[in-house]
Homo-oligomer: A and B are copies of this chain.
């Protein structure tokens, strides 16, 4: 690991990104890029024969999920550092990658110096984030902390129909219920989402992928 040269592999299906990473890394003379891969299976085939120190891994590949691939890599070479590369910075995704063996999480808007710094941190065995990710991880956002309301079957059903633009009486009609019953369910929904009207509820429900 602490040889004179660090070996690095790039796994990303975007030629633009591959080229860009290579260019950013020419300023790091002690890093050798030993391979560029566009699919997870290609890369794993290569990994079975060769070890690398660092993997820059796009987590949205066409063939396999970033999580699965990360686990595969660590199974083959536990000492390899995997730096996840992504466009999205959701806390949950970052945590998930770390949980499956990634050493760091970088957004693709990273700069050259930052990238090299992160690689060096990873070589020292540290967990590393790009700047934007650091911020997100440091302040757990309100919105992501509150737990997802557990809705009953009926409530989910009614939530869906509300999203379709139906009124209480419309819903009562299609579900063969009393409008008063539907109102009761609607009230529970508002309570569970901790909001005061359907507009806010819709946004919350969609954000939580309940619709």
Contact = CB atoms under 8 A, between A and B. Distances in A.
Q: How many copies does the complex hold?
A: 2
A199 interface: yes
Given A198-B198, A199-B202, A202-B203, A16 B15 contact: no
The binding surface of chain A is classed by DSSP as helix
A19 interface: yes
Contact of A199 (B14, B15, B109, B165): B165
A195 interface: yes
Interface in A175-211: 195-203, 206, 211
Nearest to A164: B200
A13 interface: yes
Given A196-B165, A197-B167, A108 B17 contact: yes
Interface of A: 13-24, 87, 108-112, 162-165, 167, 195-203, 206, 211
